[in-house]
Amino acid sequence: MTQKITVIGAGTMGSGIAQVAVEAGFQVSLVDTDRSFVDRGLANIRKFLGKKVEKGKLAQTALDDMLSRLTGATDTAAAVAGAAMVVEAVFEKFELKKEIFQKLDALCPPEVILASNTSTLSISSIAAVTKTPGRVIGTHYFSPVPAMRLVEVIRGKETTDATAERTVELCRKFGKTPIVVKDIPGFIVNRFLCLIYNEAADMIARGDSTAQDIDQAMKLGCNWPMGITEIIDLAGVDVCANAIEAMYQMTGEERYKPSPLFAKMLADKKLGRKTGEGFYKYDSK
């Protein structure tokens, strides 16, 4: 029988997770609060998969099959019925995630895995709002989900071995490479990236180097596919600054204290590609 995955939140990450699950042969239900948000998420998936058909990377019949397994919903109770796993990908706010996990805990039988795509919140604290913390786990995907191979699988204090093993297996079926991580601030990737982003901003603020030279150095000297500040501009200066601030708050470590350059860039609305300027200027056409 085709297994079902329900994704809560049809934004950037939720629609990406829904896409990889439907491509992997699962039945997928994508949930958001408003029908227009659901439709936007579904449209993004159709657009992405449609391009694969245009490029000859996917057969039209395979696309039709995928789309027949993909549905959108605003009613969480109906959408989670029969799911093997529910993946939450709503805004990064603890109170909102708390409300959703309590609801999912009440709706889903105990064998259903409840996963959060949180980037900064503790999985143990999310699990603690439920009566069944053993089936709560973190699955931290990276953007854009269809292209990025890693999933950090985060075990909370009470996550059972069975939950962790089934989650790893599901992530592999989605075509991803899971790495099991402890529930520590920043998991693995953001622990490093936040330090690197911050150091780049500090170097620029002090006049030690320029964005261009830092990026060239990392691309030519370390074989990074993109430069540090190019990545920040792509992800969003605000998104990266918030992640660094969150790391600082969670660890209390001075090394994560956000560079003052970020506050200045936020005040100047230099948020990266999305506002046409960050560390670089972008042609809006």
Ligand X SMILES: NC(=O)c1ccc[n+]([C@@H]2O[C@H](COP(=O)([O-])OP(=O)(O)OC[C@H]3O[C@@H](n4cnc5c(N)ncnc54)[C@H](O)[C@@H]3O)[C@@H](O)[C@H]2O)c1
Nearest residue by C-beta to ligand X? 11
In the window 138-197, what residues touch ligand X (CB under 6 A)?
140-143
Shortest distance (Å) from residue 143 CB to ligand X? 3
Give how many residues touch ligand X by CB under 6 A: 24
Cis peptide before 144 (omega within 30 of 0): yes
Counts of helices then strands in the chain (DSSP H, E): 12, 8
Q: Which two tokens stand for residue 17?
A: 């997770």
Ranges assigned E (strand) in 169-231: 177-182
Which residue of the set 119, 122, 198, 259 is catalytic?
Answer: 119
In the window 79-138, what residues touch ligand X (CB under 6 A)?
89-92, 96, 100, 117-119
Shortest distance (Å) from residue 260 CB to ligand X? 24
Cβ 159 vs Cβ 127: under 8 Å? yes
**Annotation says 111 is catalytic:** no
Q: Would you put residue 156 in left (φ > 0), alpha (ψ -120 to 50) or beta? A: beta
Which residue of the set 29, 44, 117, 140 is catalytic?
Answer: 140
Half-sphere CA count of 194, side-chain side, radius 13 A: 28
Residue from the set 32, 105, 215, 277 that interacts with ligand X by CB under 6 A: 32
Residue 72, interface with ligand X (CB under 6 A)?
A: no
Cβ 113 vs Cβ 85: under 8 Å? yes
Residue from the set 4, 9, 112, 246 that interacts with ligand X by CB under 6 A: 9
Residues belonging to the active site: 119, 140, 152, 190
Task: Please report, as ranges, the residues that interact with ligand X according to CB under 6 A.
Answer: 8-14, 31-33, 37, 89-92, 96, 100, 117-119, 140-143
